[in-house]
Structure 1
Amino acid sequence: MDDIGQKIREIRLSKGLKLKEVAELTGLSQGFLSQVETSKSSVTLQSISKIADALEVSRAYFFETEEKPAAKIEIDKEKIESKSHFNFHNSSFVYQSLSKKLENPLFEPMLVVLMPTDEEVNASIHNGQEFVYVLEGTLTVIIEDEKVQLEKGESFHINSTTPHTWFNNTTQPVKLLYIYAKH
């Protein structure tokens, strides 16, 4: 399956959940979830985190491919699209799991490429902890009311119950290491 929305719908139905129930669990609107499932709306990293928690799956579940993780991800969007097994056109980011499938992992390391956007993403909260290390580019981070720009080699580590968001507000892709740990 090459679409995040299809994977969300598949796991939701396999668990016998209605859109309304997932909306209540995530704090996301039922209409938004419906649009994501039908590929009419893109989904943010924060929304994926909330959905993964609600459906009790790892974030990597939505981005798993049959290929082994590459040693290097090209930043060129067309090259990323050709190497990936999921729909990049409805998303402003690419996730690549850096670990083997491990049942109930304590943490999930991923390589993330964020494409440029002029939209500021709303802060969110969810369970767990996050560690982000910028490999290339400039990442905009908002933690509570503080907004900072992280450059290559800089990082942050937070309890995810603190209101936060991060996004690419530049004209170039941003490549980062993202590690999510469950509580």
Structure 2
Amino acid sequence: MRAVHPTPSGTPLAIGAKLRSTRLAQSLTIADIATATGLSTGFISRVERDETSPSVTSLVTLCQVLSLPLGTLFEAPENEVIALADAPLINMGGSNAIERLLTPRAESRVQVLRSRLEPGATGGLELYTINCDVEIVHVLSGSLHVRLVTGIVELATGDTMTLAGREPHSWDNVTDGVTEIIWTIVPAAWSGSS
């Protein structure tokens, strides 16, 4: 399998809102920041509106005055949107399943997966475990058999099952139709950020 490398985003880096919210949280005015940095109020205002890009030196100076670690300006946004068509394909080890990662690869708090299970799809003959605290499966359409040590639980469209983390289980689509499910894993069992 050939490695796919990320490409730069065509969207300009928006740092102004983080700078402005940090300034306001400290009850500082643009004039206060201008006095402390030696930068003009007009320049700082344009930076906060993302209308201009500061030099590295100006950006470091702004961050120092605001006691804001420079790296936080470049962290992934908390509200990232991943369209289903753009969600990366992953393989969690089942067969006859198309699985997509709906949360950012670097998100460690939770993972949400969407699976399309063809007739006969299975998580495997052997029960398996996932390194997480809680695993939740929600059936969007179709039905699913969840196999546990204690027996089989049948889930229908709209049903949701919560499993204790690390509980041995597997699953099967025993119908003649496609089943669509959402898996939620807390915390994320793995990070695909590397």
TM-score, L = length of structure 2 = 0.46
Q: Which has the larger radius of gyration?
A: 2
Structure showing the higher helix proportion among its residues: 1
